[in-house]
Amino acid sequence: MPKADHPFTDATRGVRLQKFLADAGVASRRRCEEMIAEGLVEVNGTLVASLPAWIDPVKDEVVADGRRVRRDSRVAYVLLFKPKGVVCTNSDPEGRSCAVDLVEHPSGLRLYPVGRLDMDSSGLLLMTNDGELANRLTHPRYEMHKGYEVTVAGQLSDDDLARLERGVFLSDGERGPGRKAKAGRLDVIARDRQKTILYMELFEGRNRQIRRMLLALGHPVKKLRRVKMGPLRLKGLAVGEWRDLTAEELDQVRRDAFADAATIHRRRERAERNEGGAPVRKRRGIHASRRNEKSDRLERRAQRTRDLSAKARAERGAARSAERGTSKSAAERGTAKTASERGSAKSSAGRGSRLGDAGSRATPRRDARSSAKPSPRGTPDRAGGSRGPNRTGAGASRTGNDRRGGGTSRTPAKGKPARNRRDDASLDHRPRLS
């Protein structure tokens, strides 16, 4: 290390010069280091052009780029929904819109972004002038996880997901040798032929890491949004809006950022188990339900519709069952009534037949044809009947079904319909044979 050209090399003096400048809101810590190397910073009238350098914030007087720097004890913490097309630098030489231009804080403090989101990405961006907290949230050593919703072109296969779990090798260019980049958590929210929606968590912030990982698999990123940063969630903000952190949110952020070594170690082990094993892949998981309130409302509405449809189907089925039961009971009652009527008619006919037979036995009646010579068996007579020994006599009983009133009850021949005719004697005018 080259010898410093200033007397501020004692680490017991207080804080590092670049950290003091960053905490005072001069610029980001990296930009403050560049300003020191360019010879734009003086301490107590002495030019400081090399690092390291330590100062006493209370006793020492610091001037940066011709302006006296005073450490302001006031701090602000702002949560911004960064739109797409906005850069995270405080000043852009190309004249593009910056994130700091979207936040007009009433305190007038100079705020700067915690971490970076590239111009083509959107989502949660924390802005503050608290340099120590910003360093804790962004340094990979403290493993503060950040969650992203990613939409990629095409359908990611199970092999692609397995490669993301194992890690994808990424080159760091001039910064050093490349190494594998892994996702701390990987959930599939939705997947079809045209696109795949993922939820990914990272514990390090390499340049365009997610885009490079998925591009290496042949699936370029179509949309990327940060939805989580430590305990913070992107909720209740429209694109381009901002709000101050609540006291509860700030306490949670500080507790996670300034965790002790044991907590960080447990966080690392949890991440290794998630990376080395198989992260939960759900088509509809907790992160899908947190995407936005509109999705939750649509899902609840669809569930209510399904419940009502099932209830209506059950009611229609019960009504049809009751209708079938009523029809069956009515049919059974009608069948029973018809059977009883038939039984009554049959019993009446039987009684009439018995009475007729009794009368015939009591008063025998000779017919003109009774003394006639019987015809051979099976020879039909002119009346259409059959003259044989089984022929019914003229004195047979008549039933009420004989509409002419003078017909006899005959047993019809097999295969021939029954006929109602008058007595054969009334139709036979031939002379009797002696």
pLDDT band, very low/low/confident/very high, at 1 (cuts 50, 70, 90): very low
Residues 243, 135 within the same domain: yes
Compute the distance between CA of residue 330 and CA of residue 312 in angstroms, rounded to an integer: 27
Predicted local confidence at residue 221, as pLDDT:
93
| CA distances in angstroms from 146 to 199, 261, 277, 315, listed in the order given | 11, 19, 20, 50
Check which CATH number belongs to the domain holding 280 and give it: 3.30.2350.10
Q: Between 323 and 17, where is the model more confident?
A: 17
What is the arithmetic mean of pLDDT over 284-311? 64
Residues 57, 85 within the same domain: no
Residue 211 lies inside a defined structural domain of this protein: yes
Compute the distance between CA of residue 130 and CA of residue 111 in angstroms, rounded to an integer: 9
What is the arithmetic mean of pLDDT over 326-332? 71
Q: Is the pLDDT of residue 352 over 80?
A: no
Lowest pLDDT segment from 67-81, 297-311, 389-403: 389-403
Residues 127, 47 within the same domain: no
Mean pLDDT of the chain: 75
Among 35, 51, 69, give the residue marking a domain's end: 69
Residue 88 lies inside a defined structural domain of this protein: yes
The amino acid at 262: A
Predicted local confidence at residue 388, as pLDDT:
46
pLDDT band, very low/low/confident/very high, at 149 (cuts 50, 70, 90): very high
Residue 210 lies inside a defined structural domain of this protein: yes
Predicted local confidence at residue 177, as pLDDT:
67
Residues 87, 164 within the same domain: yes
Say how many domains are in the chain: 2
Task: Report which listed range, 296-305, 353-362, 408-417, is most confident.
Answer: 296-305
Predicted local confidence at residue 301, as pLDDT:
78
Residues 55, 172 within the same domain: no
Compute the distance between CA of residue 149 and CA of residue 224 in angstroms, rounded to an integer: 6
Active-site annotation holds for 118: yes
Task: Report which listed range, 20-34, 210-224, 255-269, is most confident.
Answer: 210-224
Predicted local confidence at residue 403, as pLDDT:
45
User: HSE-up of 433 (CA within 13 Å, CB side)?
Assistant: 6
Q: What are the tokens at 358?
A: 């009794």
Q: Report the percent of the chain where pLDDT is more than 90.
A: 22
What is the arithmetic mean of pLDDT over 310-322? 86
Q: Which residue has the tokens 């390090």?
A: 204
Residues 228, 262 within the same domain: yes
Q: Is the pLDDT of residue 307 over 50?
A: yes
Among 24, 42, 69, give the residue marking a domain's end: 69
Q: Output the DSSP codes for 397-419.
A: ---TT-TTSS-----PPTTS---
Non-local (6+) Cβ contacts of 79 within 8 A are 124, 125, 126, 127, 232, 237, 242, 243, 244, 245, 249
Structure confidence by residue, pLDDT tens digits, 360-393: 454 445 544 444 455 445 444 444 444 444 444 4
Residues 118, 216 within the same domain: yes
Predicted local confidence at residue 430, as pLDDT:
56
Residue 262 lies inside a defined structural domain of this protein: yes
Count the Cβ atoms, other than its own, within 10 Å of residue 203: 18
Residues 256, 279 within the same domain: yes
Residue 428 lies inside a defined structural domain of this protein: no
Residues 129, 266 within the same domain: yes
Q: Between 328 and 75, where is the model more confident?
A: 75
Residue 384 lies inside a defined structural domain of this protein: no
Compute the distance between CA of residue 190 and CA of residue 184 in angstroms, rounded to an integer: 19
Of these residues, 118, 367, 381, 402, which one is catalytic? Answer: 118
Q: Is the pLDDT of residue 133 over 80?
A: yes
What is the arithmetic mean of pLDDT over 117-139? 89
Residue of 146, 59, 72, 69 lying closest to 109 (CA atoms): 72
Predicted local confidence at residue 199, as pLDDT:
93
Among 69, 93, 117, give the residue marking a domain's end: 69
What is the arithmetic mean of pLDDT over 90-100? 84
What is the arithmetic mean of pLDDT over 117-123? 92
Contact between residue 330 and residue 359 where contact means Cβ atoms under 8 Å apart = no
Predicted local confidence at residue 132, as pLDDT:
82
pLDDT band, very low/low/confident/very high, at 64 (cuts 50, 70, 90): very high
Q: Which residue has the tokens 């924390």?
A: 126
Cβ-based burial of 234 (10 A; exposed 0-12, middle 13-18, buried ≥19): buried
| CA distances in angstroms from 290 to 30, 145, 149, 227, 236, listed in the order given | 35, 17, 11, 9, 12
Q: Is the pLDDT of residue 278 over 50?
A: no
What is the arithmetic mean of pLDDT over 157-185? 79
Domain of residue 200, residue span: 77-296
User: Could you check whether the bond before residue 380 is cis, i.e. omega within 30 degrees of 0?
Assistant: no
Residues 53, 118 within the same domain: no
Residue 424 lies inside a defined structural domain of this protein: no
Q: Is the pLDDT of residue 302 over 60?
A: yes
